[in-house]
Amino acid sequence: MNFHRQKTVESVGFLQITNRSIIIVRTKKMRLPLIIFLLFVFSGAASAEDKWRYQLSEKTIFENLIDGHECEKLTIDNHFIGWVNGLAEVGSSLVFRMCKKVDPPFEGAVSEGTIYGGVDSGWYELRKSNRLRSQKLILPKMNDFSNPSYCGSYIAYWGAGGNHSYYAMVYDLGKRISLKEKLVGRAILETDYMYVLNPPEWSKGCSSVIFNAEFFKQRVTFRF
């Protein structure tokens, strides 16, 4: 009768999942399939560690005399980050707007079941290097009318410059570099409504993005 002899090794090193440090485990005989299994288990656990683990509450309306926003409580590791709007995972970061409560100007200014307030100017992000402390997202030419959209690690948004000029912009948040910029046109936006410019539209797979707004004659398309 023939027996199949499995390969063995005299010693093996594998990574400890808790802190990713290397531990050398010395054994007289450890079968190769067991080593492969341990590496497989670790790779799955390491991947889970890299994912954001956050909780969002049910949506609550923050309204004021101009507009209203759907906001949610953001919690990470049982730590309350704040009320947020439009949260998205962009690359390895979380991007969102911060909602803020404001004292109503008069009695009856807020509807039942809602909170008087709105969203703070600009956008915020959480990075994995400091996941419990939000910071302002600073991008070239970003403004209150940027109305960004996201695909993978890319952020497409409307940029603003001098002389009422507006630009189609794409930024790679993962690499922290600007990828695209083109002047679309000039317009005086006589409104406080921050979503007056349509959000850029991404194609499937992030292969292209279209900037189109009624204020400008041309439509801009970037391809990647």
- Residue 21 shares a structural domain with residue 100: no
Give a three-class secondary structure readout of 99-146.
EEECCCCCCCCCCCCCEEEEECCCCEEEECCEEEEEEECCCCCCCCCC
- At 14 the pLDDT is 42
- Which range (109-118, 136-145, 148-157, 171-180) has the least confidence? 109-118
Q: What average pLDDT score do residues 28-41 get?
A: 53
- Residue 89 shares a structural domain with residue 164: no
pLDDT digits (tens, 9 = 90+) for 7-22: 443 444 444 434 444 4
Containing domain of residue 75, as a range?
A: 53-137
* Amino acid identity at 42: F
Average pLDDT of the chain, as a whole number: 85
- Residue 219 shares a structural domain with residue 147: yes
**Number of domains, the chain:** 3
- At 16 the pLDDT is 42
- Residue 143 shares a structural domain with residue 133: no
- Residue 103 shares a structural domain with residue 149: no
- Residue 73 shares a structural domain with residue 112: yes
Region of 122 on the Ramachandran plot (φ > 0 left; ψ -120 to 50 alpha; else beta): left
**The pLDDT of residue 48 is above 60:** no
**The pLDDT of residue 29 is above 60:** no
**The pLDDT of residue 26 is above 80:** no
- Residue 42 shares a structural domain with residue 57: no
In this prediction, residue 34 has a pLDDT band, given cuts at 50, 70 and 90, of low
Q: What average pLDDT score do residues 118-141 get?
A: 94
Residue 152 lies in a domain: yes
- DSSP for the chain, please give it: ---PPPPEEEEEEEE-TTT--EEEEEEEEEEHHHHHHHHHHHHHHHHHHHS--EEE---EEEE-SS-EEEEEEEEETTEEEEEEEEEEEETTEEEEEEEEE---SSTT-S-TT-EEEEE-SS-EEEETTEEEEEEE---TT--TT---EEETTEEEEEEE-STTEEEEEEEETTTTEEEEEEEEEE-------TT-SPPPEEPGGGSEEEE--TTSS--EEEE-
Does 192 or 148 have the greater pLDDT score?
148
How many Å apart are CA 58 and CA 106, to the nearest integer? 27
- Residue 133 shares a structural domain with residue 144: no
- At 30 the pLDDT is 55
**The pLDDT of residue 102 is above 50:** yes
